[in-house]
Amino acid sequence: MTDEFDNNHGPTANAPVGTSTREDLARPEPAEEKWGFEQALVAPVGSLAFLQLSNNDRLIAAQKYGGLRESTGEVEISFFGMCAFRITTPKGLEIVIDPWRNAPGFIGYWFLVDFPITRCDIGMSTHAHGDHDALHRLDAGMILDRMGGTFELGDVKITGILDKHMCEPQNDLYTSEMVLQMFGKQTRPPGETMEWCNSMFLIETGGLRILHWGDNRQNPPDDVWDMIRDIDIALLPVSDDGHILTPRWGVKIAEKLNAKVVIPHHYYIEGLNAPNAGWELPAVQFTRMLDHTFLDSHTVRLSPEKIKDYKQHVMYFGEHTVTEIFKWTPPDFLGPNAPLPEPARAWERFKPAKGDHY
């Protein structure tokens, strides 16, 4: 069973130059006009917010007016690749979760392209791994890094559920013992370090409960499960090779969440992920295990009415990403071959003027 959604973007009107209205606050601003990092001679260590040319006016407006525009009645979800999503609330707040970077020290080179500098209102990271924590690439009004507890602003409520990173994925790629022997990293509680801790984010907006799983383990304790029941949209890190969640675990977790819609992430995308860096497969087989929609865009708009009859329905972005990716295409040698030149007897310029030998 497949379904189609209207994934087209509507145009955004530009406000007159020199005016300052509520419409201005809702209007996306070009990132290059609001970001000074690219020109700065400062190493990306610590917060880079002092280099941002933007400010927190949009957040103040959401605080004061309850949003940035009249409600559209729909939540917009855009996929950047890897585990990164932008969730736009019906009243215009933009939330970006888990931007990536190439992190030295742990296999290091995982991505062929940088995460695009992206304007948003709230930037979030589920845990301290390079494929999730490039918060310096966000021109964000505020940052929620590995948060726990509850935060509310405008028309969104965010709950951070603290747990642990995946340590035994039960795949054919690695075990916790292999990671310990290869990198000296203890991934299993107790005694694991901060990079093996994880926060799941429950985002409630527009009448929908959206859960970003991060890289959480597949068997959190019962008190955690109690916080994440009856999910409308589950963003789960499922790939066909099971780098984090295997397809089998993806199905089990989707069922336990009672999720209406499942959106896989953390899978291999040619032109974005470096080959042989710990993942090799997409999530096509997992998608076909359940009722599904192969999306034809990097953005989908959903509402309670649109998904009310779904039950563990997979919506798969595939290689449709906001991030511009580059695939190498071998040249086609279809034209006629160039004629071969006659062998040049270039050495004859040294021939003796008299005889055959000097």
Question: Which of the given ranges, 49-58, 293-302, 323-332, has the highest pLDDT on average?
Answer: 293-302
| Cis? peptide before 190, omega within 30° of 0 | yes
Predicted confidence (pLDDT) at residue 255 exceeds the cutoff of 80: yes
pLDDT for position 108: 64
Does any domain span residue 341?
no
Report the range of poorest mean pLDDT among 80-84, 197-201, 231-235, 348-352.
348-352
237's tokens: 């890190």
The answer to whether residue 354 sits within a structural domain is no
At 275, the amino acid letter reads P
Which residues span the domain enclosing 177? Answer: 22-329
User: Does residue 25 have a pLDDT over 50?
Assistant: no
- Whole-number Å distance between alpha carbons of 228 and 87: 18
- Output the six-digit token pair for 63: 């605080």
Q: Is pLDDT above 90 for 347?
A: no
In a domain, 78, yes or no: yes
Q: What is the pLDDT of residue 106?
A: 53
Any idea what DSSP says for residue 215? T
Mean pLDDT of the chain: 86
pLDDT at position 241 over 70: yes
SS3 of 264, please?
strand
Number of domains in the chain: 1
- Mean pLDDT, residues 43-52 taken together: 75
Q: Is residue 11 part of a domain?
A: no
Between CA 288 and CA 298, with CA 293 as vertex, the angle to 5 degrees is 120
Closest CA to 321 of 267, 259, 251: 267
Confidence of residue 81 (pLDDT cuts 50, 70, 90): very high
| Position 290 in a domain | yes
Position 147 in a domain? yes
Instruction: Tell me the percentage of the chain whose pLDDT exceeds 70.
Output: 86
Query: How far apart, in Å, are the Cα atoms of 18 and each of 55, 67, 168, 174?
Result: 17, 22, 56, 57
pLDDT confidence of residue 30: 53
Segment holding 307, helix H or strand E: helix 304-307
Q: What angle do CA 146, 147, 149 make, to 5 degrees?
A: 155
Residue 330 pLDDT exceeds 80: no
Going by their DSSP bridges, the two strands 313-316 and 299-302 should be labelled as unpaired
Strands 233-236 and 261-264: parallel
Residue 57 has pLDDT above 80, yes or no: yes
pLDDT at 226: 96
pLDDT, tens digit, 9 for 90 and up, residues 171-222: 777 677 777 777 777 778 888 888 889 999 999 999 999 999 999 999 999 9
pLDDT at position 11, please? 38
Give Cα 337 to chain centroid, integer Å: 45
Q: What is the CATH number of the domain that holds 271?
A: 3.60.15.10
Question: Is the pLDDT assigned to residue 8 strictly greater than 60?
Answer: no
User: pLDDT band for position 6 (50/70/90)?
Assistant: very low
At a CB cut-off of 8 Å and minimum separation 6, what does 242 contact? 169, 170, 171, 172, 173, 249
CA count, 13 A, side-chain hemisphere, 22: 13
Cα separation of 213 and 165, whole Å? 10
Is residue 3 one of the residues assigned to a domain?
no
Q: Are strands 75-81 and 84-88 parallel, antiparallel or unpaired?
A: antiparallel
Tokens of 299: 């953005």
Mean pLDDT along residues 215-230: 95
Residue 217 lies in a domain: yes
What the block records as the tokens of 355 is: 């005889």
Nearest alpha-carbon partner for 15 in 6, 24, 28:
24
pLDDT number for residue 169: 77
Residues 93-107 pLDDT 10s: 999 999 999 876 556
- 69 pLDDT tier (thresholds 50, 70, 90): very high
The pLDDT, as a whole number, for residue 154 is: 97
Q: What span, in angstroms and rounded, lies between the C-alpha atoms of 62 and 22?
A: 10
Model confidence at 329: pLDDT above 90: no
